[in-house]
Amino acid sequence: MMRQSKLNNGKRKRNIVQIIVESSLVLICACVFIIPFYFIIVNAMKTRSEAAQLSIAWPSEFRIIENIQEVLAARDGMLLLAFFNSTVITVTSIFILLIICSMAGFVLHRRKGRLVSIIGSTFLAGLMIPPAVVPTIWVLEQFHLFKTFPGIILVMVAISIPFSIILYTGFIATIPKDIDEAAIIDGCGGFRLFFNIIFPMLMPIHSTVIILNAVQIFNDFVHPLYFFPGSENATVQLTLYNFMSMYNTDWNLLFANVLLITIPPFILFLIFSEKIVAGMTSGAVKG
């Protein structure tokens, strides 16, 4: 009886320590994400002189509406054009990724052989090998795709393909092959089997691929800067240059701009966060 009591006390202490550690980690993570976002919001509401101090102090005068209006009107409404450009690039890239990566993941899992293994290893290498800027620009220029929507969309798709294919391959492993065999016996061809039966079953991983890649593509700064230059081709992240210069920076407008371009993907992530986790963990156990 005494031994059982000691075991219960030890277990209770371990549970208390575990709760304290987990709570501390959650609090640290919350501070890491919440404090920068609070810093952006507070400075977006300030006047130019107050925002230049770059502090987390509450503003003495609220100018959030005026700052947003000034941001939207800057350089003949460049931010609105940038939202349009980023939306077109993101939506088109995601559509292509869903079709190509789901088909590739299906083939890579269902077919076995040395060639398939080599192709799978090549996609895996794409996660580790960084894209080369100058050769990519040269290739785009040869095909007259530099500074064009098709060019930047192809770049975004190429960068996102490896990770998306890995997600699809892991998820398709949970779908029994008996479904394929039954569909083939009923007279389904390859494309009909995939698009009528397999593709609708991939909805959880579709959601994961859409959200992860949409946030990454919409918020991309480097690749539009290199492969899609020009004021008429501005994307949302590049509009930050509107309020920055070598000798002067309008911090209040800069933070207001950051706030505007952060809200859409942030809301999207909050709404679909559970689907992201569900889609990524569904392929963790092979069916």
Question: Domain spans of the chain?
Answer: 76-282
Question: Is pLDDT of 285 > 50?
Answer: no
More confident residue, 209 or 284: 209
Q: Determine the pLDDT at residue 236.
A: 92
pLDDT, mean of residues 42-50 = 91
Q: Give tens-digit pLDDT for 97-148.
A: 999 999 999 988 888 878 877 887 887 787 788 778 889 999 999 999 999 9
Terminal-to-terminal C-alpha distance of the chain: 45
Question: Is pLDDT of 283 > 70?
Answer: no
Q: Distance between CA 259 and CA 43 in Å, rounded? A: 10
For residue 64, CA distances in Å to 32, 75, 252, 267 come to 24, 19, 9, 20
CATH superfamily of 76-282: MetI-like (1.10.3720.10)
Question: Is pLDDT of 57 > 90?
Answer: no
Contacts of 57 (CB under 8 A, 6+ apart): 42, 50
More confident residue, 17 or 282: 17
30: its two tokens? 């919350």
Whether the Cβ atoms of residue 228 and residue 154 lie closer than 8 Å to each other = no
pLDDT, mean of residues 41-57 = 89
Q: Determine the pLDDT at residue 174.
A: 87
Q: Determine the pLDDT at residue 287.
A: 42
Question: Is pLDDT of 262 > 80?
Answer: yes
Q: Determine the pLDDT at residue 266.
A: 80
**Strands (E) located in the chain:** none
Q: Distance between CA 221 and CA 207 in Å, rounded? A: 23
Q: Determine the pLDDT at residue 61.
A: 85
Q: Distance between CA 56 and CA 100 in Å, rounded? A: 46
User: H helices then E strands: how many in the chain?
Assistant: 12, 0
> Which strand (E) or helix (H) includes residue 262?
helix 251-282
Whole-structure pTM value: 0.83
Whether the Cβ atoms of residue 121 and residue 185 lie closer than 8 Å to each other = no
pLDDT, mean of residues 144-169 = 93
